[in-house]
Structures are given as structure tokens and as C-alpha cells.
Amino acid sequence: MAQRAGRSPEEDALLEKAARLLPGGVLGGYSVPRDLSFVVREGRGPRLYDVSGREYIDYVLGSGPLVLGHAHPAVVGAVERQLSRGTTYFQLSEPTLELAEEICRAVPCAEQVRFTSSGSEATFFALRIARAFTKKDKILKFEGGFHGTHDYSLMSVGPRSPKAFPAPTPDSAGIPHAIQDSVLVAPFNDLAETEAILAAHHQDLAAVIMEPFQRLIAPQREFLHGVREITRRHGIPLIFDEIVTGFRFAYGGAQEYYGVVPDLVALGKIIGGGFALAAVAGRRDIMRHLAPDLDGTPEFVAQAGTLNGNPVAATAGLATLAELRKPGTYARLFATGARVKAALEEAARGAGLPAQVAGEAPVFEIYFTDRPITDYRATLTADRQRHSAFTRALLERGVVKASQKFYVSLAHGEEDVRQTTEAFTAALRAMAEQQPTNGRTPS
């Protein structure tokens, strides 16, 4: 990779425009340190190129959808063919129906599908459908779990001072206080506490929603199976948020990978191939509440969106899934991820820094703590300042990651792994030479 250079006047002008036009000068969510900010000109394979001509190995991958890497020829070709036929119809189309059929074929719980345009919409409507089905109001989620940005989701995602279970903590200004009365919170990977909360509140619960792989925390096998058994016993619909894990951990998602089948699932990211597309899928008897022939009855769930099932996005998704079905694809993805993950673990050990690399091979993160990462509260022991310094040090060396995770793609190759390993080693050694920090907040 070429030596890092400064920003060009053209890029400086674009960043000044961003600061003037966008709150905080960012799109929202992920951002980089202001003095290292850049504007992307293009992405190819596993790399980004900015307006100043600088090159980056990309582990953000558009926040996860680009499992094939940027501008994959199969996706680009399929989208170009669809564009000549029109960009959106607000009607049924062949690509949309083919994608729905493929989801139902691949995902164990999927009998019917309703498309949305974002993962936040998908989890929001999954909860609404569950309420219609059970005729109950409350939901249970797990502390640290992220299900998008709607009001029900943004409860106890990242509380700095967590409350006693099952009380929720709002994570954003502007959420009505009444929402807190509708959300219960349980600890991830703690089956006994979860079972006790469900036993006490099951008569009021419309659904349990969870990421089977929560952010970066792998589930203990008995925990996922136990939650499935308890919710089934109490007749509570179980919703898996597989926005991240769907078609990433296996072709059937985390349901296949971990061997636990929910009642409903929210899908996103990979199924749109880099375009705005998500979906709710699940049991036919629950999904029926979306059918328009129920309009005018108390059973009907209203759900619509201008770009739901957009044919360009569906085409990109189908092209992506076709690549994922090729023999050996998942073995290769996991092998590459395992190498990068192991390199990060080895670099931390070599630098003498207390660290845990949590997650699975396709998605992982480093936490600067000596405590194993088994639940959200374990992440509170990590050194947040050191984590920010590490993210910055990688960016200075041409490796870009999201603020809280590494996504690995099929486009990352030998040279990318080699350069990434060098960046890990150099960044962590430089950090080890500095004075230790004291910030013990979520990384």
C-alpha cells in the first residue's frame, strides 16, 4: 500500500461542505476522527479509494452488505440489466418474487416474506405483527442487543449505568416515556435470569426479540436452545434479528449455523446486495396479519413502503446469493476471517496488551480487557479510549473498520490479510509504548 499522504484541496472542500450541510458533518452512526475524515470516490473489491487518491483496506463494507466486496462483477452486471427495464414499480416483479422464493427456500423459519427498505423497519414490523398475533403489548429484548433505530429497539443497547433487570434504559433523546413500560430487558447468555423474567411476565409478552449472535457476542449453545424452548412453552413468538447474520454465517443464516429456529426473522444487508432492502419472514399463521383481505378488521397490520421489494435491490440480492451458493464459498469466507481474527489476537499478545477478540470469523471485534466477553456488561470493563486509539491507528495505516466491528468479505485476499496483519502489529506496538489509559467504558 502506498505511503499515506495528506488530503487534497478538493477533498478538504468536500469535507467543509459536509460540515455545513450535514449535522456533525456525517451521515449518522459510523464516523471517523475528524482530522482523518475522507470522502470515498470509489470502492473496488476489498478496498476504498478517496477523493485524494488514497487507498484503504475496507472492513466496514458498507456496514456489512458487501460480503462479495465492492462492485462485484456479477452484481454490477445484473443491476445494469435491470436498470434498462426500470428502477421501481410499486408492483410485483420477477426479481422480487424470485428473491422471496429463495429466502423461503434457504431460511428455516421462512414460510412467507414481506419486504421493507431497512433493517429498522424489518424489526419494527416484526414486533407489530407479533403484537397482532398475540394481542399483547410488551416485548422482551436482551441488554446490548441492537435492532435498529426505532423507539422499541433503542432500549438498553448501550447503557453506561445499567438498571436492574428487567428495567430498560432509553438510548436516545426523543423516545416517549411510555415506551419504557412496553419493554423488558434480560441479560444475554444468562438462561436462568431470562427464564425467571419470562416466567414472571409471559402473560403480558407479545414477543421475545434477539440477535442470535448479539452484536459481537457468540451465544452459549444451551442459552439459544433454552430461550427457544421457554418461549415455545409459554406460547411467545421468538423473533431472530438476522440483519447481520442472515446469509453470512451460513446460507440459512444463524438459524442454520446454531441449529435454532425462531418464529419470525428480520433480514437485511446481504439480501439487498448493497441496495436498500430488508425483510420480515416467518410462520404463515403469523405473517397472515399483513394480508390486505384483513383490512378493516382488528387483525390487520398496516405496512407499506415506496421502495419495498425494489426490483433493482432484489436483483442485486439475487446475484449476491447466487455467488454465495457456489461450492466452498462459506469455507473460504470463514477461513479468511479466521486468519484476520487470529492475526489480531496474536498482535495483541505480542504487544502485551490485555485484550479479547470476540465474535465469529466473518464478524468480530477487539475489546481491551482481560475479562471474557460473554454479555453486554462484560464489555463495560473494556478500555474505550484504547479502543478508539486502535481504530485511529489502523486508519492512519490505511485500514478502515467500523467503530465496533470488523466485517470480512470474500474479496479479501492474501495481500489484504498480509497488510492488515502488519497494520495490527504496528498499531498495537505503538499503543503499548504509550501510557495505559483509564477509560473503562464500552468499546
Contact (CB, 8 A) for 82 and 312: yes
Question: In the numeric block, which cell numbers belong to residue 424?
Answer: 495490527
| Helix or strand run (H / E) with residue 59 | strand 55-59
DSSP assignment letter at 29: S
Q: What is the mean pLDDT of residues 378-390?
A: 95
Q: Give me the architecture of the 73-324 domain, per CATH.
A: 3-Layer(aba) Sandwich (3.40)
Q: What does the pLDDT read at residue 4? A: 62
Q: What does the pLDDT read at residue 437? A: 52
- Nearest residue to 210 via CA among 192, 191, 235: 191
Q: What is the mean pLDDT of residues 39-56?
A: 96
User: 267: Cβ–Cβ under 8 A, 6 or more apart, which residues?
Assistant: 103, 107, 122, 242, 243, 246, 247, 253, 278, 279, 280, 281
**Strand order through the sheet with 399-401:** 40-44, 47-50, 55-59, 399-401
Question: What burial class does residue 316 get, using C-beta atoms within 10 Å of its C-beta: 0-12 exposed, 13-18 middle, 19+ buried?
Answer: buried
Q: What is the mean pLDDT of residues 226-232?
A: 98
Q: What is the mean pLDDT of residues 421-439?
A: 84
Q: Is the peptide bond before 166 cis (omega within 30 degrees of 0)?
A: yes
Q: What does the pLDDT read at residue 436? A: 58
User: Helix, strand or coil for residue 13?
Assistant: helix
pLDDT in tens, 152-205: 999 999 998 899 999 999 999 999 999 999 999 999 999 999 999 999 999 999
User: Helix, strand or coil for residue 208?
Assistant: strand
The pLDDT of residue 373 is above 70: yes
Q: What is the mean pLDDT of residues 64-80?
A: 98
Between β-strands 112-116 and 278-282, what pairing exists: parallel, antiparallel or unpaired? antiparallel
Q: Give me the architecture of the 9-63+331-361+383-410+421-432 domain, per CATH.
A: Alpha-Beta Complex (3.90)
Burial 49-65 (b: 16+ CB within 10 A, else e): bbbbebebbbbbbebbb
Average pLDDT of the chain is 94
pLDDT in tens, 21-35: 999 888 887 667 888
Structural domain boundaries in the chain:
9-63+331-361+383-410+421-432, 73-324
* Position 289 confidence tier, pLDDT thresholds 50, 70, 90: very high
The pLDDT of residue 440 is above 60: no
